[in-house]
């Protein structure tokens, strides 16, 4: 657990507050939300990874069951249409092959009904379980983000103090720089008055002091 800055809530207190804040709220499925991924850094992802994986497994199960139900319903519809078609044809109704085909379709329809019932039973508890894990993932996310914000705020404060100190030091250095430039200019002017243009060669002054920024 990362260090919590002074004045920030402890883990137990914040968890209770987070749970109260989330009560009655409609929480989006986090692993399907791109904005949720943008909140997380590498360390935070590691902290919530078990819940993230559990939620994704549940979502895959739900998606698989829904697809299976669609496929079974499609198969059942086709079988029923074949049964109705064969029963409606008087000439073929007593045909042995059609009778066998009809009985086979009826048996397959029963299997479809049984499979649909099993899938629907399995789906009953999944939404509730998905909501539970998603809720826990949101709590874990809020907890990690709280720590991350506390850490960021400390670094922001440290950076602001550093910037303030640098500004003060920068002003001091600018004042000293201007004083040295004025001093060099005074020396140059005095030497120029004494030696004339030769002062450039004597003092290796290729540029008059103060004429360029150093």
d(CA 57, CA 105): 35
d(CA 43, CA 151): 13
Closest CA to 4 of 136, 140, 137, 143: 143
Give the span between the Cα atoms of 66 and 83, in whole angstroms. 26
User: Do residues 207 and 184 make contact, with C-beta atoms less than 8 angstroms apart?
Assistant: no
Distances (CA, A) of 192 to 132, 189, 201, 213: 86, 5, 11, 21
Mean pLDDT, to the nearest integer, of 124-138?
A: 93
The pLDDT value recorded for residue 185 is: 87
pLDDT at 147: 87
Question: Over the range 78-94, which residues count as b (16 or more CB within 10 Å of their CB) and which as e?
Answer: ebeebbeebeeeeeeee
The answer for 204, left when phi > 0, alpha when psi is -120 to 50, beta otherwise, is left
% of the chain residues with pLDDT over 70: 83
pTM above threshold 0.75: no
> What is the model's pLDDT at position 89?
58
Question: Longest C-alpha distance within the chain, in Å?
Answer: 134
Q: What is the pLDDT of residues 39-93, one digit of tens each?
A: 888 888 888 999 999 999 999 999 999 999 999 999 999 999 888 887 765 555 5
Residues 6+ apart with CB under 8 A from 84: none
From 38-42, 121-125, 179-183, 190-194, the region with the lowest mean pLDDT = 190-194
């Amino acid at each position: 657990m990362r260090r919590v800055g002074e004045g920030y809530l402890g883990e137990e207190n914040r968890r209770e507050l987070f749970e109260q804040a989330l009560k009655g709220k409609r929480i989006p499925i986090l692993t399907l939300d791109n904005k949720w991924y943008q909140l997380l850094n590498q360390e935070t992802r590691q902290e919530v990874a078990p819940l993230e994986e559990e939620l994704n497994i549940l979502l895959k199960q739900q998606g698989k069951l829904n697809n299976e139900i669609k496929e079974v319903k499609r198969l059942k519809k086709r079988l029923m249409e074949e049964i109705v078609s064969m029963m409606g044809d008087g000439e073929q109704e007593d045909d042995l092959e059609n009778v066998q085909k009809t009985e086979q379709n009826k048996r397959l329809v029963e299997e479809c009904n049984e499979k649909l019932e099993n899938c629907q039973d399995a789906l009953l508890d999944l939404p509730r379980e998905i909501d539970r894990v998603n809720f826990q993932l949101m709590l874990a996310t809020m907890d990690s983000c709280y720590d991350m914000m506390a850490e960021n705020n400390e670094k922001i404060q440290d950076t602001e103090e550093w910037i303030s100190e640098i500004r003060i030091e920068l002003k001091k250095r600018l004042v000293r720089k201007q004083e040295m430039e004025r001093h060099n200019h005074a020396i140059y002017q005095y030497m120029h008055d004494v030696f004339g243009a030769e002062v450039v060669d004597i003092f290796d002054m290729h540029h008059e002091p103060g004429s360029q920024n150093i």
